[in-house]
Structure 1
Amino acid sequence: MIFGISVAADAPVRQASLRQHNLRLVLAQVASLSPQSRADIAAATGLTRATVSTLVDDLVSGSLLREVSPTPRSGAGRPGVGLVLNDADGPAGLGLEINVDYLAACVLDLAGTVRHREIQPGDRRGVDPAQVLSSAAALASRAMLAAEDQGLTIAGTAVAVPGLVSPDRVIRLAPNLGWRDVDASGFTPGPLTVENEANLAALGELHHGSPGGSTSFLYVSGEIGIGAGIVLQGNLFRGARGWSGELGHVAVNPGGPACRCGAHGCLEQYAGQEALLPPGTSVSDLAAAADSGSEPDLGRLSTAASALGVTIAGVINLLDVDTVILGGIYAPLTPWLRPGIEAEIANRVLTAAWSPVRIHPAALGSDAAVIGAAGAVIRAVHEEPAAWLLPIGPLRHRDSGKP
């Protein structure tokens, strides 16, 4: 480092690095518009036709692209063979979600299409973490078999959990599960990422195309616990240690009821799933009751909306995001939650008068976390195709980093 300038950043680009860059460029070009011919790719990227031909051959032989019917041609000459992402027998991403009252699995192909989905309801509070991880591993095995039956190869697994996760995939704290220092590093075979569920859901929304098209938003995940994923200018904000987003444990009323985290008056006590849903009822039950004008149900929704609005307003004052996305159980309840949240934002956000904040339900609904998890694996393949093309490449055997 000289005068704050990294010398390594100015080092020459090696041939292998150039190839990696160009493979990623070609794959991204096909992902952006399909089908395309080799000539189309060369024209769009500025690479020579010979270079594109070599790169495409590698991507086709590596099952990342596949050839289809010739592309239409307006000028003279023979039409070129079309190229699309290999969603038939290429790599796929496996997403798992471990939550308080359910487990979920999802497989996405290279084009981002859901090819398998399974949800296993059941309260996991008080259950031995090893038993929960064993159930999640069984869910993962069924998903892998479903992918294999469709000709797909699982490139890796990402697991969404409702708590604080360290880089070594130890779940440091998941208050609503009652977990502390649970090692989740080896419960499924192959590359494995473990990440906070709200973060993965926020990434899922970002790459799916967040409602309103914003690249700076607050994703609020409503479950038994409440988490938040913060996206700023297209990047997930993790904080200094990667533990940002514990919105559910922001104090709404310091003198309020005790929370599982040990504090009092946390947001979860006013707007969490158990504060909103009477025992034995579902989100659809609550929505139907609210739609019919049930005063007790509308009262609970109003209390939750006010508590959410107070907390969200503080985040907006601090981070200046222009969009709030309501996920989990909040997505179908947005029509009843939005007015109360907007009222608190209007009253508490300093810039509200001339810089309105948009509130949208999650585009991926309650599946945002598990789809976001599977999508993180697929993005890793898109961002580093050269690793997938190696006979025994890093994506096939290494421990994955953060998505």
Structure 2
Amino acid sequence: MTAAPHEAEPALPGRALPDTQQGMRRRNLARVMHTVSAEGPLSRAAVASRIGLTRAAVSTLVDELVRSGLLEELGPERPGRVGRPGSALAVSARGPAGIGAEVGVDHLAVCAVDLRGEVRSRAVRYGSNRDGSAEPVVERLTALVRQVVAEAESEGLWAAGLAVAVPGLVARDGRTVVRAPNLDWQDADLGPLLPADLPLTVDNEANFGALAELWLGEDTPRDFLHVSAEIGIGAGVVFDGRLLRGTRGFAGELGHVPVRPDGPECPCGGRGCLEQYAGEKAVLRAAGVEPGEDRVGLLADRAAEGDEDVRRALREAGTALGIALTGAVNLLDPEIVVLGGALAGLAPWLLPSLRDELARRTAGPARPVSVSDLGPQGPLLGAAHSVVRAVLDDPAVVAERA
């Protein structure tokens, strides 16, 4: 079942629904879908009670959603209830699916998520994506997308859209990667390179990680700062259940906040950026660990075994993270800080020094720091769920196709 306790903007571009009878119908279809998604199985009467419409009105909406394949009837509700039993409604396990994709520095991943929030297909390809241009990387990604879409179709699903997470700055057009230093991409329009038959949105991986935490995290508040990392470090800022994007869509570039202005040069052009102290390469270098396929797992294993070089490198990375986060916390005043991405696997050794810095430098009480249960899967899941959320937010688009 898709967890939908928060009302947040869909990552896919959407249309504002007009304040007309047709617009009201579309909004009510969305209310029914969100209610059944979050709380189902439910009867028509239960849905009507929750959203404040008459049973007749809800029945008409439900019939439309059932015909379009978005809801399914499971049969009479369990016995023991007073009165005539209603038919239990659930979000369909067939029909639209969200296709999420992630471009990492050294991996590609694609998954299909159905309207119930279940991952139905997944494919991963490991290997460097530092090709100097987007074309060969996206060609490999497209092959994975086609594979996952075919597997989803074999289970009665169809792709409602494609959302791609990338480690870089993405323009507000939702398709152009303005700059991705760790991939060596600049002004790369992914639209013409990806399958033309799928509605597309591209966004920063940290933004998708934050949205995944908002939608899927356990007891996640509506105001938080989400930090994620692989080779680079990014952050997603969520306030009142909505992602803060900034004027150009570049908000959250935590990895390029300087923690030591006279420090080493960074690929972004600055000096002493956080990534130079807490990014994966920097930690491996400081720990004296040779890069391998499971670098985070290797660091975690050595830290657990008591390797003091690794533990010292992680303490120093936590200190640098704390310094950078202090500025963000003082400026934005989030309720909590959530550590996600690959960093989540190193939390036992990062958090003590990170929390010390926050406590020492933050104006007012230090903010709690929690660890995401989603870990490195956050950006990919956030991308796929953004497509699912777009369907739930405006199911009339699908209903009109049926």
Fold in common (TM above 0.5) = yes
- The match for 2:291 among 260, 269, 280 is 280
Letter in 2 for 1:254: P
Q: Tell me whether 1:266 sits opposite 2:266 in the alignment.
A: no
1:128 shift after superposition: 3.2
Residues of 1 paired with 2:19 and 2:102: CA distance?
39
Name the counterpart of 2:9.
Answer: none
**Counterparts in 2 of 1:205-224, with a 5 A limit?**
205-209=213-217, 211-224=218-231
CA distance in 2, matches of 1:104, 1:92: 16
Matched, 1:129 2:137: no
Question: Shift of residue 194 of structure 1?
Answer: 0.5
- Alignment of structure 1 residues 124-203 onto 2, 5 Å: 124-168=129-173, 169-186=175-192, 187-188=194-195, 189-203=197-211
**8 A contact 2:133–2:184 mirrored in 1:** no
Q: Which residue type is aligned with residue 210 of structure 2?
A: A
Q: Match for residue 84 of structure 2? A: 78
Q: Tell whether 2:121 aligns with 1:100.
A: no
Post-superposition offset of 1:137 = 0.6
1:22 to 1:73, Cα distance in 2 relative to 1, 3 A: farther
Listed as ranges, the gaps of 5+ residues in structure 2 are 1-16
2:125 corresponds to 1:120: yes
Q: Secondary structure at the match of 1:330?
A: helix
Query: Residue 55 of structure 1 corresponds to which residue in structure 2?
Result: 61
Contact 1:162 1:225 in 2 (8 A): yes
**Separation in structure 1 between the aligned mates of residue 324 and residue 103 of structure 2, nearest angstrom:** 25
AA of the residue aligned to 2:252: G
Q: Superposed, which structure 2 residues align to 1:332-347 within 5 Å?
A: 332-347=345-360
Q: Distance in 2 between the 1:12 and 1:373 partners?
A: 27
Give SS of 1:78's match: coil
Structure 1: 5+ residue runs without aligned partners?
Answer: 1-10, 393-403
Q: Which residue of 2 aligns with 1:5?
A: none
**More off after superposition, 281-290 vs 303-312:** 281-290
Separation of aligned partners in 2, 1:76 and 1:265: 68
Q: Which moved more, 1:28-37 or 1:256-265?
A: 28-37
Question: 1:226/1:108 Cα in 2 relative to 1: closer, same or farther (>3 Å)?
Answer: same
User: For residues 26 and 14 of structure 1, what CA distance do their matches in structure 2 show?
Assistant: 18
- Aligned match of 1:204: 212
Counterpart CA distance in 2 for 1:124 and 1:43 is: 52
| Kept in 2: contact 1:334–1:360 (CA 8 A) | no
- Normalising by the residue count of structure 2, what TM-score does the alignment of the two structures yield? 0.91
Structure 2 Cα separation of the partners of residues 179 and 219 of structure 1: 24
> Which of the residues 380, 395, 401 maps onto 1:385?
395
In the alignment, the residues of structure 2 paired with residue 203 and residue 331 of structure 1 have an alpha-carbon distance, to the nearest angstrom, of 16
Matched residue, 2:246:
239
* Pair 1:289–1:382, CA change in 2 (3 A): same
Spell out, residue by residue over 1:236-287, the C-alpha distance to the aligned partner (whole angstroms, 9 max, x if none): 1001111111111111111111111111111111010111223333211111
CA contact 1:109–1:378 (8 Å) conserved in 2: yes
Aligned pair count?
Answer: 377
Q: Deviations over 1:322-378 (max 9, x none)?
A: 2111122101101110101000001100112xxx42212222111000000000000
Q: CA deviation at 1:76?
A: 4.3
TM-aligned CA distance change 1:75 to 1:362, over 3 Å = closer
1:249 matches 2:277: no
Among 108, 116, 124, which residue is 1:111 paired with? 116
Q: Matches of residues 22-41 of structure 1 in structure 2 within 5 Å?
A: 22-41=28-47
Equivalent position SS for 1:104: strand
SS at match of 1:333: helix
Quote the Cα distance in structure 2 between the aligned partners of 1:185 and 1:285. Answer: 37
2:345 counterpart SS class: coil
Aligned equivalents of 2:82, 2:220: Cα separation in 1: 39
Instruction: Report if aligned partners of 1:159, 1:193 keep a CA contact under 8 Å in 2.
Output: yes
**Structure 1 residue 213: Cα displacement:** 2.6
Assess, with a 3 A threshold, how the Cα gap between structure 1 residues 152 and 219 changes in structure 2: closer, same or farther: same
SS class of match (1:126): coil
Which amino acid in structure 2 is aligned with residue 285 of structure 1? L
Distance 1:50 1:101 in 2: 54
Aligned AA for 2:222? Answer: T
Q: Deviations over 1:199-258 (max 9, x none)?
A: 01100110013x553221111111111111011121110011111111111111111111
Aligned to 2:198, what secondary structure does the other structure show? coil
Superposition CA RMSD, Å? 1.6
Is the contact made by 2:170 and 2:204 (CA closer than 8 Å) also made in structure 1? Answer: yes
Q: Report what 1:366 is aligned to.
A: 376
Distance 2:291 2:170 in 1: 31
**Is the alpha carbon distance of 1:350 and 1:212 closer, same or farther for their aligned partners in structure 2, counting shifts above 3 Å?**
farther
Greater mean deviation of Cα atoms: 378-387 or 36-45? 36-45
